[in-house]
Structure 1
């Protein structure tokens, strides 16, 4: 199993500037890297795109991502996953495998993990109640540190571990091994929620559901800001950890999956004032948060830039109507 130092060195070795991100995964075909957000405009196929998703479809898609976040944070914070009464529903139910309690040495990071876990469990509970009889069951979720698991597959596809990388003998990335590894994994997931709910808002017809989505968006933005700020602060305090560079490598990786548009950003400051500024809020030129489609998000969580219906963090795909990733 790779050590935290090994992983961070690998992130540094693989990090690229944004002007090269479009070519980041050419060498790896369709097996590409790590997670991002999901505006809920389905871009899977022309036939599927003809029918606009219902509010229930949108909320069930959001719920799948909340299952992933809630399971990861719950295991990391407490060593336990979601309660059994939060898993059943329509579609093929699955288990969350590979989660475990994280090794925290910074008490603040441990407290952040517990707080975010509680929030994400509340999101799952709320969405399940809001959706009602058509609620989607939790699909199979891989949050393991196994060499063949989603985290390690993503790291290997990105050239962070394995032959030809800066860490040729490393075989796995363990998000539970340290404060830094946990924060990097959280950085992957938290930027998902912000872009997801922001993009979903124009598609939700019910004002009640729209208000609820706006409320979850605000919480996801708080989480993302907390994680990004902590990574930036730790990276500035201890440059040898290479945390800022690691966020850029992850950003490049997930941005490579979602088509031609250059959206994603790490925490490295850009533009004027780079020596004193940070990039805690990833925004467009108008100061607005960006969005991704359901298909783009599935590319990222399936770890595949092709049009498929499962893989990566969701080995058998998500449950519900919106299941196919985009063809990028």
Structure 2
């Protein structure tokens, strides 16, 4: 089991060495996000009493929305890796460790790109998940991955800047790979089942910001609201 110190070292080293290369964007792209985030016309979100709000309707709100979800996914897979479920195989360990590394890199990418406009670190609440049970862990992983993909697909049209949309597209492509892998671990051949893909169009299903945050907040002590998008955290 990794100590907190070992986990911090892992995350720091990954962030320094890999996150730009993994995300598939150059320093210029991150600089573009960071520079724009400092623009005087864009104010940081004002946190509600019980957590944080995404703020005004702009690209930074959507980037923070993605950042919140990546924080949640990274925290989940870090816990999965730290406390492996009973009977986990070496192949499953390798696959889930890869997903953990991806999610940490996604989280660190958004944090670095948003800079001072990033929402605060969120505190997860995984008390409802039995991390010792394979079926429950994989069911939770599927819920997180499927929700993440539908979230990106549902909010993509709200992104005005083509550079941000390109980054989001690259990240959701990897998230969809995660979702397919987890589905196949649960039931081989279910990687594009009707619960995630519309049989009539073969297009992935999408979800609105309120729909996604309602699910995400079930696993967060730090609640995330999106008042300007029609969702107030309870």
In the superposition, the TM-score normalised over structure 1's length comes to: 0.49
Does the CA contact (< 8 Å) of 1:183 and 1:227 recur in 2? yes
Alignment of 1:1-328 (within 5 A): 53-77=57-81, 79=82, 100-144=83-127, 151=128, 173-174=129-130, 176-233=131-188, 267=190, 279=193, 282-284=196-198, 285-302=200-217, 312-318=218-224, 325=231
Residue aligned with 1:287, SS: coil
Distance in 2, matches of 1:321 and 1:102, equals 38
Distance in 2, matches of 1:209 and 1:104, equals 41
Classify 1:68/1:323 alpha carbon distance in 2 versus 1 (closer, same or farther; 3 Å).
farther
After superposition, the CA RMSD in angstroms is: 2.8
Give the Å deviation of 1:180. 2.6
Does the CA contact (< 8 Å) of 2:57 and 2:229 recur in 1? no
Does the CA contact (< 8 Å) of 2:56 and 2:228 recur in 1? no
**Which structure would you say has the larger Rg?**
1
Residue aligned with 1:318, SS: strand
The runs of 5 or more residues in structure 2 that have no matched partner are: 1-54
Does the CA contact (< 8 Å) of 1:183 and 1:231 recur in 2? yes
Distance in 2, matches of 1:209 and 1:193, equals 17
Distance in 2, matches of 1:111 and 1:185, equals 18
The runs of 5 or more residues in structure 1 that have no matched partner are: 1-50, 80-99, 145-150, 152-172, 237-266, 269-277, 303-311
Residue aligned with 1:212, SS: helix
Distance in 1, matches of 2:57 and 2:166, equals 18
Distance in 1, matches of 2:169 and 2:105, equals 15
Give the Å deviation of 1:178. 3.1
Q: Deviations over 1:23-80 (max 9, x none)?
A: xxxxxxxxxxxxxxxxxxxxxxxxxxxx972111001011111111000101211x2x
Does the CA contact (< 8 Å) of 1:57 and 1:321 recur in 2? no
Distance in 1, matches of 2:120 and 2:174, equals 23
Distance in 2, matches of 1:322 and 1:107, equals 45
What corresponds to 2:4 in structure 1? none
Classify 1:102/1:53 alpha carbon distance in 2 versus 1 (closer, same or farther; 3 Å).
farther
Does the CA contact (< 8 Å) of 1:298 and 1:323 recur in 2? no
Distance in 1, matches of 2:125 and 2:112, equals 25
Classify 1:121/1:320 alpha carbon distance in 2 versus 1 (closer, same or farther; 3 Å).
farther
The structure that is helix-richer by fraction is: 2
Give the Å deviation of 1:279. 2.1
Give the Å deviation of 1:112. 1.3
Question: Matched residue pairs, number?
Answer: 178
Residue aligned with 2:207, SS: coil
